[in-house]
Structure 1
Amino acid sequence: MDMTLAEKIIARAAGRQSVAPGEIVTCAVDLAMIHDSGGPRRVEPILRRLGVDVWDPAKVVLITDHYVPAGDDESRTIQAITRRFAANQGIANFYDQQGICHVVLPERGHLRPGMFVVGGDSHSPTGGAFAAYMFGIGATEMAGVLATGEIWVRVPDTIRIEWTGRLNPGVSAKDMMLHLCAQLGMDGGKYQAVEYIGEAVRALPMQERMTLSNMAAELGAQAGLIEADDTTATFLESAGVPRDRITNLRSDEGSRVAEHHVFDASVLSPQVAAPHSPANAAPVEQHAGTKIDVAYIGACTGAKLADLRMAAEVLRGRNVAKGVELICAPASLRDQEIARSEGTLGAILEAGASLIANACGICAGYGDNRLGENVVAISSTARNFKGRMGAASSQVYLGSPYTTAASAIEGRIADPRPYLKGARQ
């Protein structure tokens, strides 16, 4: 029986030869990822009431990224609970203040093709970039996983999204996703599995693929998968995964999908999403000239090393416009240090950016830098829901790191392509 990538992974986790969409199966979990916000403070009381410990501490990764830095009593208490839980449960894979979970997890070598993974965060589909079936669950479900090592799933239909051609300079995976949100809607995935294929996808480096998989959540999908190839293997080997544990996993040629959409990357222009939804995306020209107060380069979709390099390419040798605050929150400490060593971070800071913690921060409405009343911002984050990043009166536009950086220079939403060599306008 020919199967999609999603069906193959679920079948293996369920101990089956094959599965079909609509079936409900119980799967063994290869890895569970939790963070400080939805993790120990939520699941520990449930495990205590059940009288059980974590089923396998070696299969749990715990990361602090929401209440970082701990600037008040509540944050300090939550961090203390998190650290105590890691010690009491013997969780060796505990990354304290190392960056955002969706970036830290793969950079530390915890993902590989074919794994069945759950995460305690809505952007957990990021793991699909590595051909792992990874999806987000709530604290009650996570407590069940931590107690038993299992979870039931309904085998999803697969929606295949094909990107032909190649992206032009100044256009990124973030633009691809904003365009998809506009074209397919926020429930375009219909809570199924999205599989990204095509020349443009194969040409993307891993961190750009991570953006595609991450924002499958914005399409309403449970998972966002990309077949494993040599690009996957090279990244995972650099993260310490042995080559013999990395397989080039993909869908069978004859596998059936519920929908197949085709888009041409070669004609895509930079996209900007107006408040208060990623689905309000349109070519940058439609919003160009809108004055901004803040430009934010941050989050798991907008401040990885690849994203920082995009921003630096625009900002190098230039200055942020008067009256505009440019804020940079690198997605992981490791990426920040690489960016610093190669001069990428320096180019961003020399342009006038302020550097804040490697954490979810403003994107999720945490920390001291939340947007104030009536502030207009452009952000490289995945979401711009009303009030999510601060005051309900704030207005948040979404763009790529390229577009966010260009807008910071001009003090208004701007097309980044004039700032890039070889870009087609």
Structure 2
Amino acid sequence: MSDYKLGLDYALDQDRKDELKSYRNQFHIPKDKQGDAWIYMTGNSLGLQPKQTKAYVNQELNDWANLGVEGHFEAKNPWLAYHEFLTESMAKVVGAKPIEVVVMNTLTANLHFMMVSFYKPTKTRYKILIESDAFPSDKYAVESQLRHHGFDDKEGVVLWKPRPGEELLNYDDLETILETQGDEIALIMIGGVNYYTGQYFDLKRITQLGHKQGCNVGFDCAHGAGNVALNLHDSGADFAVWCTYKYLNSGPGSLAGCFVHERHAYRKDLNRFTGWWSHNKQTRFNMRGEFDQLPGAEGWQLSNPPILSMAAIKASLDLFNEVGMDKLINKSKKLTGYFEYLLKQLGEDTIRIITPKRSEERGCQLSIQVKNADKSLHNKLTEVGIISDWREPDVIRCAPVPLYNSFEDVYRLVEKLKGILK
């Protein structure tokens, strides 16, 4: 969409026409001390709280108060199978089949559990390929896996780097790495959307390149889930992990999601860590039988799930289920395109957007470099009610989230930025 216009009237008109505009009212928008709503642009760090979350959590608190242990069977949403209430909605969000998805643990814990199964090093094929500016926890996790298996944690990491003077990664360079070192690489583990640049990678292409060289392939989709069309099943990836507190609005430190491709659903030869929640549901409480593994992603669970966290996830997923990812992505592309259009009016000698220009290669986040700026610019934005996100050395990340951000939000953000720069 390139027919954007300047001026507040245009933004207000777009908000009037927005078929998702009512969803903004279903979220708590934080306010400053004067009672004015913040322009909240950090759904890529922590999503806002849906207003219905409190009722969902209170339901479980009330059932716990009134039923005690019987809540496992008698609660309005019986706790014994609570994770199953999330599976179908979550599968739709990430483009997977229900058998491929489970909500469990936290993000980096899930990444480690996946690497137990899908990082199978040998003396000659033991390296792990990640993007050079991966999120730190991904880097730390893969380095620790290398050490755990007795390998050098620096020599064993292969970095997919941008070309000199560029920020974005190039697929030709990935192909070259795999053609020259593919037989030494056991695992490719890439962030589905890079946290710093906002570059959304072609998961299917990366998977095909990796599988062609005999590598297992997984993705950290923390910045992708609820933001872009991940199409995890079609990507063919062996596994993926993601958190739920960013675009999925489940609250700070909430549980994470995990995808294991259907072709691995019934494999009992895959090494894994197990616990009683990965055991056959029918015989789980017999307690004395040998381990009988559940099929699908559920077969990687360990413990019975924390219900209060899952209730918050359910509150948000019910909204996603109502709207559908197609409508969200459609609005997201218009909203982010509008944001890009307004930023460009400030002049490329002032502002540089390092996020890809093509909407297919990004989600709603734009990463902005402002010429000669330091963190004081970010602090000034915060003082005028713009909640954005600073990343060293010189990037401000802003994510206009389609569920609760408006065209007016975007307009006012750029106007305030313009005022500060003058």
TM-score range, shorter chain: 0.3 to 0.5
TM-score (norm 2): 0.32
Over alpha carbons, which structure has the higher Rg?
A: 2
> Taking CA–CA contacts closer than 8 Å with sequence separation of 6 or more, which of the two structures ends up with the larger relative contact order?
2
More helix by share: 2
TM-score (norm 1): 0.32
